[in-house]
Amino acid sequence: MKYQDILDACGLTAADTTGGTLAVTTPVDGSEIGQVPMHTVADAKAAIARGVDAFAAWRKVPAPRRGELVRLLGEGLCQVVSQRLDHKLMRQHQATISRT
């Protein structure tokens, strides 16, 4: 698939991809639920190059160590999500949540 084909499929023009933000809408009712930054083709190519370099370094790490790092990352993400959910629930219900 060519770059222009992707733009066409998304209903975008080349001018739409030169910075700024892109609205994210929900398919439920079409309302905007967020925005994401737009990047240039050069930005995308630079990000891909960084990813290729990172992968080259990552594959040199022994598999057991990679697994441990992924596990630790997952645990950290779970803690962050849990804390955010706790705070959201506290605000909604005006309650205090204690962990034991």
Q: What domain range is 12 assigned to?
A: 1-60
pLDDT at residue 7 in the model: 74
pLDDT digits (tens, 9 = 90+) for 65-88: 999 999 999 999 999 999 888 888
51, 77: one domain: no
| Backbone region of residue 2 per phi and psi (left: phi > 0; alpha: psi in -120 to 50; beta: other values) | beta
**Low-confidence residues of the chain, pLDDT below 50?**
none
31, 77: one domain: no
pLDDT at residue 43 in the model: 84
pLDDT at residue 53 in the model: 94
43, 56: one domain: yes
56, 67: one domain: no
72, 39: one domain: no
Predicted TM-score (pTM) of this structure: 0.48
How many domains is the chain partitioned into structurally?
Answer: 2
pLDDT at residue 97 in the model: 58
CA of residue 23 relative to chain centroid, distance? 15
